[in-house]
């Protein structure tokens, strides 16, 4: 009699984050979590729930309301032997601590000639869609990617969220894990125990033959839906999730362009100055002769994120818009 197959372990994105942080605290005695409301309240989105009871107040603790202080704590603690996980409640709050991020966290290892390591993992929440208005809904990953010394990743699935948190915490460089608030309820397979999702390794999540869509974070799911729509007009889209955007796996993207000859880049961030422009520039540098159409870009309008749910729904890119702009780009 055949043995029954074990069912995959399914978790929501939010629980996968908890699982990843728990694994880090379990395997690294010098790791701790610090941030606003991470201990008693379990974090504003609940992904630190239960960790205070499990690991105690010396490993999970609340900080004052000072983002500069939180990042400064991470810099100092990591330089003296700890491996902190610091929480920046909303990515929008980077403005409160950018000096610490840009001039200390990103540069200290370089300025000490490699003798100081800064194994800091920063978790932060980005993205619109929850009517949290202009100061709590931004996607500012391009700010961070412009800073030599930082690694920046954007896990799109529960599996990647856990695996990238573990990989970030094992890295001896500062890594910023940009999470997405509208993905928290998304279900996905998440194995028990430790595993890493390699940093700087893109994932081809849908193979295709005659069009490439590179999409980041939550936009990967919109891109997959758009790819299904595009089948009806003869477009077989390959969808690539870079996962880590600094450093960026351009080899996988360029290889796809050389196969499909047409490409579009999609991100939730404002289109102007976004990471899509960098990807487009590198494609023309490394694969220009293979292009049969201009490099397409889809992003948010050059505007603050609106509070109104109706306006916000128009502001954030979605599958219909991606498919429509792809058809216009390709003339179908």
Residue 3 pLDDT > 80, yes or no? no
- pLDDT (tens digit, 9 = 90+) per residue, 61-88? 999 999 999 999 999 999 999 999 999 9
Residue 82, pLDDT score: 98
Residue 261 has pLDDT above 60, yes or no: yes
| Alpha carbons 260 and 293: distance in angstroms, whole number | 11
Asked if residue 198 is part of any domain, the answer here is no
Residue 4: inside a domain: no
Q: Are 185 and 207 part of one and the same domain?
A: no
Q: Which of 115, 136, 146, 267 is the catalytic position?
A: 136
Instruction: Looking at the structure, tell me whether residues 40 and 178 fall in a common domain.
Output: yes
CB atoms within 10 A of CB 64: 8
pLDDT the model gives residue 73: 98
Residue 132 and residue 248 in one domain: no
Q: What is the pLDDT of residues 193-228, one digit of tens each?
A: 999 999 999 999 999 999 999 999 999 999 999 999
Final residue before a domain boundary, out of 189, 215, 249? 189
Q: Identify the pLDDT of residue 6.
A: 78
pLDDT in tens, 91-132: 999 999 999 999 999 999 999 998 999 999 999 999 999 999
Name the domain count of the chain. Answer: 2
Does residue 2 lie in a domain region?
no
What backbone phi and psi angles, to 5 degrees, belong to 30?
-95, 5
Dihedral angle over CA of 7, 199, 258, 215, nearest 10 = 70
Q: What is the pLDDT of residue 223?
A: 98
Residue 4 has pLDDT above 80, yes or no: no
Same domain (yes/no): 311, 244: yes
Percentage of the residues of the chain whose pLDDT score is greater than 70: 99
Is the pLDDT reported for residue 1 higher than 90?
no
The verdict on pTM exceeding 0.85 is: yes
Task: Classify residue 89 by its DSSP letter.
Answer: S
CATH number of the domain residue 243 falls in: 3.40.50.920
Q: With 80 as the cut, is the pLDDT of residue 303 above it? A: yes
Residue numbers of the domain that contains 125:
10-189
Run of H or E including 86:
strand 83-88
300 within a domain of the structure (yes/no): yes
Helix, strand and coil content of the chain, in percent to the nearest 5, comes to 40, 20, 40
- Better-scored residue on pLDDT, 29 or 1: 29
Residues listed for the chain: 332
Q: Do both 265 and 123 map to the same domain? A: no
* Residue 282 counted as domain residue: yes
User: How many other CB atoms are found less than 10 A from the CB of residue 159?
Assistant: 19
> pLDDT above 90 covers what percent of the chain?
97
Considering the domain architecture, whether residues 99 and 244 belong to the same structural domain is answered as no
Residue 246 pairs in a beta bridge with 152
Q: Please name the residue that has the structure tokens 């728990």.
A: 22
* pLDDT of 2 strictly over 60: no
| Per-residue confidence (pLDDT) for residue 7, from 0 to 100 | 87
Mean pLDDT computed over every residue of the chain = 96
Examine the residue annotation and report whether 136 is marked as an active-site residue of this protein.
yes
Any domain includes 98: yes
DSSP one-letter string for 158-203:
HHHHHHHHHHHHHSSS-EEEEEEGGGTT-EEE--SS-----TT--E
Distance set, CA 68 to CA 78, 82, 152, 259 (Å)? 15, 18, 19, 46
């Amino acid at each position: 009699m055949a043995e029954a197959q074990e069912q995959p372990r399914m978790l929501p994105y939010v629980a996968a984050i908890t699982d990843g942080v728990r694994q880090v605290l379990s395997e690294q005695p010098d790791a701790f979590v610090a941030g606003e409301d991470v201990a008693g309240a379990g974090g504003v989105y609940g992904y630190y729930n239960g960790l205070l009871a499990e690991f105690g107040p010396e490993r999970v603790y609340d900080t004052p309301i000072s983002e500069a202080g939180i990042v400064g704590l991470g810099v100092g603690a990591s330089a003296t032997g700890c491996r902190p996980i610091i929480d920046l409640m909303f990515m929008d709050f980077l403005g409160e601590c950018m000096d610490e991020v840009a001039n200390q966290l990103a540069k200290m290892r370089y300025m000490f000639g490699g003798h100081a390591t800064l194994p800091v993992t920063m978790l932060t929440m980005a993205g619109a869609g929850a009517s949290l208005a202009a100061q709590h809904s931004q996607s500012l990953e391009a700010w961070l990617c412009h800073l030599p010394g930082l690694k920046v990743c954007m896990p799109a699935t529960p599996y990647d969220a856990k695996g990238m948190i573990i990989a970030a915490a094992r890295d001896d460089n500062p890594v910023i894990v940009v999470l997405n608030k509208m993905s928290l309820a998304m279900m996905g397979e998440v194995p028990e125990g430790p595993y890493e999702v390699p940093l700087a390794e893109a994932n081809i999540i849908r193979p295709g033959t005659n069009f490439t869509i590179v999409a980041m974070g939550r936009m990967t799911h919109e891109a997959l839906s758009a790819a299904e729509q595009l089948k009806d007009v003869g477009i077989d889209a390959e969808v690539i999730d870079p996962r880590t955007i600094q450093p960026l796996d351009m080899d996988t993207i360029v290889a796809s362009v050389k196969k499909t000859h047409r490409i579009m880049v999609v991100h939730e961030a404002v289109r102007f100055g976004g990471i899509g422009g960098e990807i487009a520039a590198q494609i023309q540098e490394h694969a220009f002769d293979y292009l049969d159409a201009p490099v397409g870009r889809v992003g948010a309008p050059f505007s603050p994120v609106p509070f109104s749910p109706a306006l916000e729904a128009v502001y954030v890119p979605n599958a219909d818009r991606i498919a429509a702009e792809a058809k216009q780009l390709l003339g179908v």
